[in-house]
Structure 1
Amino acid sequence: MQHYNLLYSCVYEKERGIEQFVEEHALGIILSGELHLFTNKGTIIFKKNSIGLIRRNQLAKSMKFPESNGKPFKAINILLDQNALKKYASIYTIKKQDRYKGDYIIDLTKNSFLKDYLESLLPYFDNPELLTGEISENKTIEAVKLLLKAKPELFSFLFDFNDPHKIDLEAFMVQNFTFNVTLNKFAKLTGRSLATFKRDFRKTFNDSPSQWLTKKRLEEAHYLIAKKNKRPTDIYLDLGFENLSHFSYAFKKQFGVSPMNL
């Protein structure tokens, strides 16, 4: 459930997140259950009462786990979008920041002010008619002030408005090929326009991005099934395929045998 830039999650069964690209900074708290966040640097587990801040322009997969006693997974997030932060920087005369080079996921669990603030958002989901654009804007300002008070070093985190810089394409793609995002997103994260991304990709891999991604994902699937005894139903989503039938068709076309019969 989303109202303006406020999001509330409540799920009673284990649920895989759909969006794998973090477009805007997000501040959130886990009210019950657990959130497992899968990144190219490993898995981060957010337990009940965990508070975290994740930086924009990140690739991440998530899994929501309800509690074992039957209580649902619940979480509240507020998105700190670039337009709101630019407005804040203008109002409070914040100088231009250098490119941020710190951690991309910040643990803020011990901050009681942020806990109280995030829990104060819950009534707006029960009464969405009370949430106006003005209140949403005020809540965003309040969140930013609390973050800067908790960690003044977050000035660079929040107010670095630079786009991703151009990085090593080969290393990035080999590390992130399992993320199911558009070529536009891959291009942006490597600091390129889509046209430049496609051109550099062909120079690097001697293949188109779409064909290379499919081959790379299928090769990884073959390895996991043949060598690690993984079941196709357990891995196809993790490898970037949208459904099992498409995965099975592509696998058989590539290797001449169904993944179920390997």
Structure 2
Amino acid sequence: MTKNFYSLPQAIYELEGVRPILLNANNSILHKKLSQSMLDMEKIIVSHSIVYVISGTVKIVTQDYQETIVSEKEMLFMPKNSYIISDYVQKGSPMEVYLFFFDHTISTRFFSLYPQQHSQVKIEPLKLKTTNNILHYINSLASMQYKYINDQSMLEIKLLEFLALVQEQNSTFIQVLKNSEIQDSSLDIKTYMSKYYDKELSIEEWASLVGKSLSTFNRHFKKHYNISPKQWLLQENMQLAFTMLKNGKNTSECAQEFGYSNVSNFIKAYKSIHDNTPKQHQLQTSD
């Protein structure tokens, strides 16, 4: 499986140096401070994201090799479903950023507050202008101490306030956001999952990526493909495990590769798909 791969925002919540200001599922406002650079980190972004750099530099490289560098007091919007490789580079002082994540629900609420005619624009990371109002908002976050960091209502208010400030001087922003949401609604789920099934995403994260609730996602997938997404992912992973075993990996290595702490559980999962244990398959292919 992919080394140094992160699904954002969930994977970042437990990282050292990350302070949640407000957080609820895939919506959050986070402060991140690193004492050392983090390089070549593969990420898939489950929720839309905006990064504001206080100090240091963030370099983003997209799947089509488009590179964007974000320096101090600059912001970058990254639509959800973005697959990127990022570098967080400190320059003398610790690397420090604020991260804002917001999902389909927040986006829909934002569109209702700022109704605009849809226009076709390219869906890609977008550099954003920083205004004095945005700077005042960012500075206010440093002293904010909420009673409950998982207060969903307060989080929605603060995210919508931030998005409104961003929209003031970034008219293209809402169009990129809208186009991203429209693309997600017409996304071929199975094709998309086939592309990234080896990234160890949870079913909840897959649902978020395509802009659906967990129950709707499960129901939609099973209706269209006659199999649950969980079972389909198991099939794909065990087929990959078969190839790895054929190429010389042993059972323990494969179990670890697919996140099984117990080898017996991996063998059971493998047999449920292939009808044979990994060892039986290796013996057959060696004959």
**Do the two structures share a fold, i.e. TM-score over 0.5?**
yes
Equivalent residue in structure 1 for 2:199, among 176, 179, 183: 179
> How does the TM-score come out when normalised to structure 2?
0.55
Computed over aligned residues only, the root mean square deviation of the Cα atoms, in angstroms, reads: 5.1
Task: Say whether the 8 Å CA contact 2:58–2:69 is kept in structure 1.
Answer: yes
- Does the alignment pair 1:7 with 2:30? yes
- Does the alignment pair 1:124 with 2:141? yes
Task: Say whether the 8 Å CA contact 1:187–1:197 is kept in structure 2.
Answer: no
- Please state whether the residue corresponding to 2:199 is helix, strand or coil: coil
- Does the alignment pair 1:72 with 2:94? yes
Residue type of the partner of 1:74? Answer: E
- Please state whether the residue corresponding to 1:156 is helix, strand or coil: helix
Other-structure match for 2:274: none
Other-structure match for 1:212: 236
Structure 1 residue 76: deviation in Å? 0.8
Structure 1 residue 15: deviation in Å? 5.1
The 5 Å alignment of 1:1-262 reads 1-4=19-22, 5-14=28-37, 20-23=44-47, 25-35=48-58, 37=60, 40-42=63-65, 44=67, 46-49=69-72, 50-56=74-80, 58=81, 60=83, 65-67=88-90, 69=92, 71-80=93-102, 82-91=104-113, 94=115, 98=118, 102-108=122-128, 111-113=129-131, 117-118=134-135, 120-128=137-145, 140-158=159-177, 164-169=184-189, 171-186=191-206, 189=209, 193-198=217-222, 200-201=224-225, 208-216=232-240, 219=243, 241-242=258-259, 253=278
- Please state whether the residue corresponding to 2:77 is helix, strand or coil: strand
Instruction: Provide the C-alpha distance between the structure 1 equivalents of 2:21 and 2:191, rounded to a whole number of angstroms.
Output: 38
Instruction: Provide the C-alpha distance between the structure 2 equivalents of 1:209 and 1:193, rounded to a whole number of angstroms.
Output: 14
Structure 2: 5+ residue runs without aligned partners? 1-18, 23-27, 271-276, 283-287
Change (3 A) 1:35 1:75: same
Instruction: Provide the C-alpha distance between the structure 1 equivalents of 2:189 and 2:199, rounded to a whole number of angstroms.
Output: 15
Other-structure match for 2:4: none
Structure 1 residue 28: deviation in Å? 1.6
Task: Say whether the 8 Å CA contact 1:33–1:64 is kept in structure 2.
Answer: no
What is the identity percentage for the equivalent residue pairs of Structure 1 and Structure 2?
11
Task: Say whether the 8 Å CA contact 1:51–1:107 is kept in structure 2.
Answer: yes
Task: Say whether the 8 Å CA contact 2:21–2:30 is kept in structure 1.
Answer: yes
Instruction: Provide the C-alpha distance between the structure 1 equivalents of 2:168 and 2:125, rounded to a whole number of angstroms.
Output: 18
Task: Say whether the 8 Å CA contact 2:52–2:76 is kept in structure 1.
Answer: yes
Structure 1 residue 52: deviation in Å? 0.6
Instruction: Provide the C-alpha distance between the structure 2 equivalents of 1:211 and 1:120, rounded to a whole number of angstroms.
Output: 47
1:178-211 alpha-carbon deviations (Å, 9 max, x no partner): 32212344356468732442465568xxx83212
Structure 1: 5+ residue runs without aligned partners? 227-232, 257-262
Task: Say whether the 8 Å CA contact 1:36–1:43 is kept in structure 2.
Answer: no
Task: Say whether the 8 Å CA contact 2:207–2:217 is kept in structure 1.
Answer: yes
1:65-111 alpha-carbon deviations (Å, 9 max, x no partner): 34264x3321112334555555555455x25x549763142122xx2
Instruction: Provide the C-alpha distance between the structure 1 equivalents of 2:148 and 2:140, rounded to a whole number of angstroms.
Output: 9
Change (3 A) 1:218 1:84: same
1:9-56 alpha-carbon deviations (Å, 9 max, x no partner): 012245587984422x32222233444556544575544334211223
Task: Say whether the 8 Å CA contact 2:126–2:173 is kept in structure 1.
Answer: no
Instruction: Provide the C-alpha distance between the structure 2 equivalents of 1:65 and 1:244, rounded to a whole number of angstroms.
Output: 31
Other-structure match for 1:230: none
Change (3 A) 1:220 1:139: same
Instruction: Provide the C-alpha distance between the structure 1 equivalents of 2:107 and 2:233, rounded to a whole number of angstroms.
Output: 34
Change (3 A) 1:179 1:98: farther
